[in-house]
């Protein structure tokens, strides 16, 4: 075989092997991150939202709010507060994203966790949306998540008290 043909084939084979290796590494990283997100959702977000829901539904306190927890997937979980006497709704959502570098590879940090709050009329009007500061998945506590929820809800509390 001519040298240039061999050189061309070797270059192509080497590049294909490198791409396969990168894809396998990305899959391993993605699987690890997905597992961390699931653990975070199960151990911190879910229990925190259930505690908040229980507290907000206390009838003896006179709030009588409608509260639900939504978990469409492991990357997003919300607690929604509705005033039964008006059409106001407050939604606090925690998002988990897999961070990527500008080149499209999974970044060394890997995970980005942040809250998004929306407030508005249940029907009709587009709610106001506010994105919160990112959380550190390995350091944030349930208490900090609950406090962030309360801090965000406080500005709308007048719309939820009869």
Mean pLDDT computed over 86-105: 85
CA 29 to chain centre: 18
Is residue 97 pLDDT above 70, yes or no?
Answer: yes
**Is 108 a residue whose pLDDT tops 70?**
no
Contact 69, 77 (CB under 8 A): yes
Residues β-bridged to residue 44? none
Q: Is the pLDDT of residue 139 over 70?
A: yes
How far lies 81's CA from each of 15, 21, 70, 84, 86, in Å? 53, 47, 11, 10, 12
Please spell the DSSP secondary structure of 81-122, one letter per residue.
Answer: EE-TTSSEEEEEEEEEEEEE-TTSSEEEEEEEEEEEEEEEES
Residue 59 has pLDDT above 70, yes or no: no
pLDDT at residue number 162: 63
> Would you say 116 and 132 are in contact if contact means Cβ atoms under 8 Å apart?
yes
DSSP for 69-85 reads EEEEETTEEEEEEE-TT
pLDDT higher than threshold 70 for residue 69: yes
Q: Is the distance from CB of 97 to CB of 135 less than 8 angstroms? A: no
Parallel, antiparallel, or unpaired for β 66-73 and 88-100? Answer: unpaired
- pLDDT higher than threshold 70 for residue 87: yes
Is the sign of the CA dihedral 11, 14, 16, 22 positive or negative? Answer: negative
Query: Is the full-model pTM beyond 0.75?
Result: yes
Render pLDDT for 123-136 as a digit per residue (tens, 0 to 9).
755 556 777 878 88
């Amino acid at each position: 075989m001519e040298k240039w043909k061999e050189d061309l084939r070797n270059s192509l084979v080497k590049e294909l092997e490198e791409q396969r290796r990168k894809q396998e590494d990305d899959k391993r990283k993605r699987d690890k991150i997905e597992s961390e997100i699931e653990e975070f959702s199960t151990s911190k977000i879910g229990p925190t939202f259930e505690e908040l829901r229980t507290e907000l539904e206390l009838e003896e306190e006179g709030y009588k709010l409608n509260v639900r927890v939504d978990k469409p997937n492991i990357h997003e979980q919300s607690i929604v507060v509705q005033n039964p006497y008006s059409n106001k709704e407050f939604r606090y959502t925690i998002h988990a994203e897999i961070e990527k570098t500008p080149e499209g590879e999974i970044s060394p940090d890997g995970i980005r966790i942040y809250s998004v709050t929306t407030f508005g009329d249940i029907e009709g009007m587009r709610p106001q949306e506010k994105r919160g500061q990112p959380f550190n998945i390995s350091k944030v506590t349930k208490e900090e998540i609950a406090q962030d929820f309360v801090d965000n809800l406080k500005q709308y509390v007048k719309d939820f008290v009869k």
